[in-house]
Chain A
């Protein structure tokens, strides 16, 4: 259904596409300002150590070094969550992971800064370190943070319904441990920040600060900078240039953003810091490795009676988004299927590894892998088709789930139907040759969190619109374009509502001095929330134009239609619609002549006079209507805000704030894989992915987001994995991390399902994250279909697949996995499982623990 829109629903090139394809667009690292210095960060070589002494004098003596910044230069703690202010710009007393930030050298060039880093003398007292979350929870001494006993960041224990009674009613019950290893965003653009102070004309001292940064959350950055620098937010301007991908990795304040500002203050000059690719891996904030103990019960007809999940997340050394992540893992057990009883025990554990944070599908992905795999297992037990069992557990919206989530639009049934149909599921499932299989899985995600991380009644998005006399529309939005199409969506929504062409609309985004507050690009909130705010701002300004135009046209404002750069009376024939009709040509020409001469005519007032002489007309051009409105009201502006409705904000229990959303997106996927039983290599041939995005405002972008999510899910399923050894990351590079290339990437068929959400802008919901989680279990289930092994540990690397096949055939166990059968993993292994990595690892600092004598925690090494 394409309800006769003129802008939305049509495949549209992103409004910033040319900037990107020509290289003209500026990302943070492309910027420079006069007198700019380079900053380089000295990182900790130890996973856990007390800093006894830092001597920067040798480094400061090097010609070209301007300043060396250390922890005491900015003692105020910060963190993205108000409950997790546990980070400092630079290590204050302790370092807590290999790569923690110790000092920052500011120099006239990166080369000199790098030289100077070798001259910073740091004396460490090495402490015992914790790498395994379950071991870490038993810690009695040498806690990672003194105020977190048992190294437990946070635990939650939820019971909804009566889980035990639910299991008593079940006919089939499955219970197993799943392990998902750690993945990271690896956005193509390494983080970069440029910070510059102005001198204050009144005090003569450093005054306002401007920060350009690769961020998804400019307003949170402004807030955290104000905490650390002890400056009012109004004195800090954050500008987000183009951002080269985020996926959550730039959705919180990353250490270099704070360090650059502190360094600029100390050096009294503009400072730019850009991470190397290796530093990006250390900064991390990705998806934590997770242990999921899952139990599910179903009746003989396949209806789920109860779910019990115990989730342990290896959160790394700082809180980051951790409290939210562990809550999402539990909360989004609901809102996909109708589950009457849920028990959830979640533990977010601190370890001496880089902090984990939010990553695409935040909190839901690993649990979804476990759940959808187990549901498949239960379907097989009960003799029900895997697609069918999902159809038997659908919600009946509108409804509130047992854990308090409000569900309205619900395209999941259609998603399942369409993927089953397109993939030839009924015809082909179970009938493919040996070694080839099909698997199905579903997932969902929030269209923005209903509760902001900083609790307040403030709107989550606000948008201002200004329209100039020639009909140029400028939209001011705090929403952050990070490649997902935020600016294009904003322009489309404004143009559709105002009935003007897309080329009239210019978007000014994410500059805290110019744009009204928006809490950022995370939790897939932009289309729904900033889109709604844009819609309301456009409505607001349109009302004024309509009032003035109605006066000119001598009719009630409600009777006016705005479309195709014209304003006309409802029911009258729109003068320019079909270009091939003869009569239209005349009108088009008339319209063109008006716009061509409009400025001069307006200045002379002759156009208005001419119109007056001719009497009221059936239509006006958009420019004429705008001129009328400006003459009538003065400056033509409009504003609109969005705050999620109270009903969508969830229940009352502790932790109920995370999970609720005004709307959920839905996805169903079928994956077709083949498997080489000799090498254990899995090949994904095709994925059919149906995604309910409410309404596709820009189908090219929606398909791009679906494909991108599925592709990233496939990466996590098959190859991507952060390999740890003694808290050291063994593969901090794009190739070693094994981000799939074009050769390894399957065909992905995106299928758009539109459920038209009652509260979304034109019915739209999110499309950028919800599809990721289904891909991993769809592939796992396809592997089972192909060779009959159920992998409970991701990624499904050749060595894990081989180990599982050998265990199944009772043949000799594989050394590569230390004898562990990945269909029944018990705990994380050092080296994670990508044991083909036998190298000594990247070249490192002289104090690298790999070279150390054997202090502290030498356990677990092999």
Chain B
């Protein structure tokens, strides 16, 4: 057993609208000996509106979280695609931009000195599931489930983050271990509409319908996401006749690793996935 110790940043979404994903993240990490310790006093990463109207304030908000991880002496793990993006942009600026270093030292009394790495859980999972002690960890299969992997736009990072590995392919690796069937499609990285879902639902609803139509045309029974905001937008803005269950990849992995709480997680979905799940996996 080679345990990995990481600081954990839950973020606003996983501690409110997507609590089931937070629970699944903890289950998966326990099963794979990834030890998570939450940051002692985390704050908003600066995502959504803060960076949209005050980009440098957003860097300072992210910096406060990064400094906490630095004093814990650990690398940081996030599950939210938005948070991963903001924290990485900030870490990059705090390391390479002299003005940013100086201003944030003035405000927060620290500089980012250690080569602190910001992981997204999906950076770790494909490799971890191939390691010897965990190859046999899967107790349940998703054989018969046809899905399309939906990464959304936030994992298409800004240019200064090109040195981070792309996550595309990581969901297929995890879902492949679970025995599910990937359906090919061209909408993997299409934007879900993000926060315009609230402010301009008239723009977002057709975008979401288009994504769901394409998923159905690809022959999928469901959409699997790596981003809680994508999941919520697809569920919330999709027309009644285009509805199709949307899962988080960690929920399904936690199910495969033997979690018993999965029916509670699925009950929180806005599009009920239980009929599909029971229908596909009954008799096994």
Mutual binders A and B: no
